A and B are shown apart, each in its own frame.
Chain A
Amino acid sequence: GESVGLHLPTLSVQEGDNSIINCAYSNSASDYFIWYKQESGKGPQFIIDIRSNMDKRQGQRVTVLLNKTVKHLSLQIAATQPGDSAVYFCAENGAGGTSYGKLTFGQGTILTVHP
Protein backbone atom coordinates (compact mmCIF):
# COMPACT_ATOMS: atom_id res chain seq x y z
CA GLY A 1 0.00 0.00 0.00
CA GLU A 2 0.96 3.62 -0.19
CA SER A 3 1.84 6.09 2.51
CA VAL A 4 2.18 9.81 2.27
CA GLY A 5 5.89 10.35 1.72
CA LEU A 6 6.90 6.89 0.37
CA HIS A 7 7.65 5.89 -3.24
CA LEU A 8 5.20 4.32 -5.65
CA PRO A 9 4.09 0.76 -4.88
CA THR A 10 2.45 -1.45 -7.50
CA LEU A 11 -0.43 -3.89 -7.50
CA SER A 12 -1.09 -6.42 -10.27
CA VAL A 13 -4.38 -8.29 -10.48
CA GLN A 14 -6.28 -10.44 -12.93
CA GLU A 15 -9.40 -9.13 -14.59
CA GLY A 16 -12.41 -9.95 -12.45
CA ASP A 17 -10.48 -10.04 -9.19
CA ASN A 18 -11.12 -7.57 -6.38
CA SER A 19 -8.38 -4.99 -5.76
CA ILE A 20 -7.45 -3.38 -2.48
CA ILE A 21 -5.27 -0.28 -2.44
CA ASN A 22 -4.03 0.97 0.91
CA CYS A 23 -3.01 4.36 2.22
CA ALA A 24 -1.60 5.41 5.58
CA TYR A 25 -1.97 9.01 6.66
CA SER A 26 -0.13 10.87 9.36
CA ASN A 27 -2.37 13.75 10.45
CA SER A 28 -4.84 12.62 13.09
CA ALA A 29 -6.69 15.94 12.65
CA SER A 30 -7.57 15.19 9.03
CA ASP A 31 -11.32 15.08 8.64
CA TYR A 32 -11.82 14.40 4.97
CA PHE A 33 -10.29 11.96 2.53
CA ILE A 34 -10.49 11.52 -1.21
CA TRP A 35 -9.40 8.85 -3.67
CA TYR A 36 -8.31 9.85 -7.15
CA LYS A 37 -7.55 7.82 -10.28
CA GLN A 38 -4.93 9.06 -12.73
CA GLU A 39 -4.54 7.49 -16.15
CA SER A 40 -1.32 7.96 -18.05
CA GLY A 41 -0.85 11.50 -19.32
CA LYS A 42 -4.08 12.77 -17.78
CA GLY A 43 -5.11 14.71 -14.71
CA PRO A 44 -6.39 12.93 -11.59
CA GLN A 45 -10.07 12.06 -11.58
CA PHE A 46 -12.22 12.01 -8.44
CA ILE A 47 -13.43 8.53 -7.47
CA ILE A 48 -14.90 8.65 -3.98
CA ASP A 49 -14.62 10.56 -0.73
CA ILE A 50 -15.25 9.93 2.96
CA ARG A 51 -15.63 12.08 6.02
CA SER A 52 -13.88 11.21 9.26
CA ASN A 53 -17.21 10.57 10.98
CA MET A 54 -17.72 7.55 8.73
CA ASP A 55 -15.79 4.30 8.50
CA LYS A 56 -17.16 3.03 5.20
CA ARG A 57 -18.61 4.47 2.05
CA GLN A 58 -19.68 2.68 -1.12
CA GLY A 59 -19.88 3.81 -4.68
CA GLN A 60 -20.29 2.01 -7.94
CA ARG A 61 -17.85 -0.95 -7.73
CA VAL A 62 -15.74 0.96 -5.22
CA THR A 63 -15.70 1.03 -1.44
CA VAL A 64 -13.57 3.21 0.80
CA LEU A 65 -12.78 2.10 4.34
CA LEU A 66 -11.41 4.42 6.99
CA ASN A 67 -9.75 3.25 10.20
CA LYS A 68 -8.98 6.33 12.28
CA THR A 69 -7.46 4.32 15.10
CA VAL A 70 -4.52 3.29 12.95
CA LYS A 71 -4.82 6.17 10.46
CA HIS A 72 -5.42 3.89 7.51
CA LEU A 73 -7.52 4.29 4.40
CA SER A 74 -8.25 1.69 1.74
CA LEU A 75 -9.93 1.61 -1.64
CA GLN A 76 -11.58 -1.60 -2.73
CA ILE A 77 -12.44 -2.11 -6.39
CA ALA A 78 -14.81 -4.97 -7.14
CA ALA A 79 -14.52 -7.04 -10.32
CA THR A 80 -11.49 -5.12 -11.53
CA GLN A 81 -11.42 -4.37 -15.25
CA PRO A 82 -8.54 -3.48 -17.60
CA GLY A 83 -9.91 0.07 -17.70
CA ASP A 84 -9.18 0.34 -14.00
CA SER A 85 -5.45 0.24 -14.72
CA ALA A 86 -4.09 3.57 -13.50
CA VAL A 87 -2.31 5.25 -10.60
CA TYR A 88 -4.49 5.69 -7.54
CA PHE A 89 -3.89 8.48 -5.04
CA CYS A 90 -5.34 9.09 -1.65
CA ALA A 91 -5.58 12.66 -0.41
CA GLU A 92 -6.35 14.08 3.00
CA ASN A 93 -7.55 17.45 4.16
CA GLY A 94 -4.55 17.79 6.38
CA ALA A 95 -5.55 20.92 8.29
CA GLY A 96 -8.77 19.45 9.62
CA GLY A 97 -11.80 21.51 10.59
CA THR A 98 -11.93 24.86 8.87
CA SER A 99 -9.14 25.04 6.37
CA TYR A 100 -8.03 26.46 3.08
CA GLY A 101 -8.95 23.21 1.40
CA LYS A 102 -5.35 22.15 1.06
CA LEU A 103 -5.10 18.49 0.28
CA THR A 104 -2.05 16.38 1.02
CA PHE A 105 -1.61 13.66 -1.59
CA GLY A 106 -0.07 10.26 -1.13
CA GLN A 107 2.57 9.08 -3.58
CA GLY A 108 0.17 6.79 -5.41
CA THR A 109 -0.20 3.09 -6.19
CA ILE A 110 0.09 1.72 -9.71
CA LEU A 111 -2.71 -0.75 -10.43
CA THR A 112 -2.23 -3.04 -13.42
CA VAL A 113 -5.09 -5.28 -14.47
CA HIS A 114 -4.22 -8.26 -16.66
CA PRO A 115 -6.89 -9.63 -19.04
Chain B
Amino acid sequence: DGGITQSPKYLFRKEGQNVTLSCEQNLNHDAMYWYRQDPGQGLRLIYYSQIVNDFQKGDIAEGYSVSREKKESFPLTVTSAQKNPTAFYLCASSIDPTALGSKNIQYFGAGTRLSVL
Protein backbone atom coordinates (compact mmCIF):
# COMPACT_ATOMS: atom_id res chain seq x y z
CA ASP B 1 0.00 0.00 0.00
CA GLY B 2 1.99 2.99 -1.27
CA GLY B 3 1.52 6.53 -0.14
CA ILE B 4 2.41 9.30 2.24
CA THR B 5 1.86 8.79 5.93
CA GLN B 6 1.68 11.63 8.38
CA SER B 7 1.58 11.17 12.11
CA PRO B 8 0.14 11.93 14.49
CA LYS B 9 -3.26 12.97 13.15
CA TYR B 10 -3.74 15.36 16.10
CA LEU B 11 -1.02 16.99 18.17
CA PHE B 12 -1.09 19.38 21.08
CA ARG B 13 1.76 21.66 21.99
CA LYS B 14 2.42 23.32 25.29
CA GLU B 15 3.87 26.81 25.35
CA GLY B 16 7.65 26.78 24.92
CA GLN B 17 7.69 23.22 23.67
CA ASN B 18 9.13 21.89 20.42
CA VAL B 19 7.07 19.26 18.63
CA THR B 20 7.92 17.09 15.66
CA LEU B 21 5.53 16.02 12.92
CA SER B 22 6.35 12.87 11.04
CA CYS B 23 6.09 12.37 7.28
CA GLU B 24 7.03 9.11 5.58
CA GLN B 25 6.62 8.13 1.93
CA ASN B 26 7.19 4.80 0.19
CA LEU B 27 6.66 6.16 -3.32
CA ASN B 28 10.40 6.52 -3.98
CA HIS B 29 9.82 10.20 -4.69
CA ASP B 30 12.83 12.52 -4.75
CA ALA B 31 11.15 15.66 -3.45
CA MET B 32 9.19 16.30 -0.28
CA TYR B 33 7.36 19.38 0.97
CA TRP B 34 5.74 20.79 4.09
CA TYR B 35 2.79 23.17 3.95
CA ARG B 36 0.77 25.00 6.52
CA GLN B 37 -2.94 25.55 6.03
CA ASP B 38 -4.97 27.95 8.17
CA PRO B 39 -8.80 27.83 8.26
CA GLY B 40 -10.31 29.11 5.04
CA GLN B 41 -6.90 29.64 3.51
CA GLY B 42 -4.73 28.08 0.86
CA LEU B 43 -1.48 26.20 1.35
CA ARG B 44 1.70 28.03 2.30
CA LEU B 45 5.08 26.40 1.76
CA ILE B 46 7.24 25.98 4.86
CA TYR B 47 10.18 23.90 3.65
CA TYR B 48 10.97 21.64 0.73
CA SER B 49 13.65 19.11 -0.11
CA GLN B 50 14.74 17.99 -3.56
CA ILE B 51 17.13 15.28 -2.45
CA VAL B 52 18.46 13.62 0.67
CA ASN B 53 20.51 15.87 2.94
CA ASP B 54 19.32 19.00 1.18
CA PHE B 55 16.39 21.27 1.93
CA GLN B 56 15.32 24.84 1.22
CA LYS B 57 13.21 27.40 3.02
CA GLY B 58 9.78 28.09 1.67
CA ASP B 59 7.69 31.19 2.18
CA ILE B 60 7.08 30.83 5.93
CA ALA B 61 10.08 28.94 7.34
CA GLU B 62 10.56 31.02 10.50
CA GLY B 63 9.90 29.00 13.63
CA TYR B 64 10.21 25.66 11.83
CA SER B 65 13.05 23.24 11.12
CA VAL B 66 13.37 20.08 9.02
CA SER B 67 15.81 17.30 8.22
CA ARG B 68 16.12 14.92 5.29
CA GLU B 69 18.45 12.14 6.37
CA LYS B 70 16.55 9.47 4.44
CA LYS B 71 14.77 9.66 1.11
CA GLU B 72 11.52 8.40 2.59
CA SER B 73 11.39 10.66 5.64
CA PHE B 74 11.00 14.43 6.06
CA PRO B 75 10.12 15.35 9.66
CA LEU B 76 9.04 18.87 10.56
CA THR B 77 9.81 20.40 13.96
CA VAL B 78 7.64 23.25 15.13
CA THR B 79 9.86 25.16 17.53
CA SER B 80 8.96 27.40 20.44
CA ALA B 81 9.91 30.33 18.21
CA GLN B 82 6.73 29.74 16.18
CA LYS B 83 4.30 31.88 18.16
CA ASN B 84 1.16 30.91 16.27
CA PRO B 85 1.54 27.22 15.45
CA THR B 86 -2.14 26.25 15.46
CA ALA B 87 -2.85 25.03 11.92
CA PHE B 88 -3.29 22.02 9.67
CA TYR B 89 0.09 20.75 8.44
CA LEU B 90 0.36 18.91 5.15
CA CYS B 91 3.27 16.92 3.79
CA ALA B 92 3.62 16.16 0.10
CA SER B 93 6.04 14.47 -2.27
CA SER B 94 6.72 14.50 -5.99
CA ILE B 95 8.66 12.21 -8.29
CA ASP B 96 11.22 14.57 -9.72
CA PRO B 97 10.93 18.30 -9.09
CA THR B 98 13.40 19.15 -11.84
CA ALA B 99 11.33 17.46 -14.53
CA LEU B 100 8.57 19.11 -16.48
CA GLY B 101 4.93 18.21 -16.38
CA SER B 102 3.38 15.34 -14.49
CA LYS B 103 6.48 14.55 -12.45
CA ASN B 104 5.76 17.80 -10.64
CA ILE B 105 2.43 16.52 -9.32
CA GLN B 106 2.56 16.66 -5.54
CA TYR B 107 0.81 13.91 -3.63
CA PHE B 108 -0.35 14.73 -0.15
CA GLY B 109 -0.66 12.97 3.16
CA ALA B 110 -3.77 13.18 5.34
CA GLY B 111 -2.37 15.99 7.47
CA THR B 112 -1.62 16.70 11.11
CA ARG B 113 -3.74 19.14 13.06
CA LEU B 114 -1.64 20.99 15.61
CA SER B 115 -3.21 22.91 18.48
CA VAL B 116 -1.75 24.85 21.37
CA LEU B 117 -2.74 23.97 24.94
- Which A residues form the contact surface with B (CB < 8 A)? 4, 7-8, 31-32, 34, 36, 41-46, 49, 51, 89, 91, 93, 97-103, 105-108
Contact = CB atoms under 8 A, between A and B. Distances in A.
B16 interface: no
Contacts, number: 78
Contacts of A34: 104-106
A106 to B, nearest CB: 6
B108 A107 contact: no
Interface residues of B, number: 33
Contacts of B56: 100
The residue among A8, A89, A97, A101 with the most chain B CB atoms within 10 A of its own CB is A101
B48 A46 contact: no
B85 interface: no
Interface in B62-106: 90, 92, 94, 96-106
Interface in B1-26: 4, 6
Given A32-B104, A51-B101, A101-B98, A42 B110 contact: yes
Contacts of A108: 41-42
A91 B45 CA distance: 12
A32 B58 CA distance: 19
B104 A46 contact: no
A103 B98 contact: no
A66 to B, nearest CB: 14
Contacts of B46: none
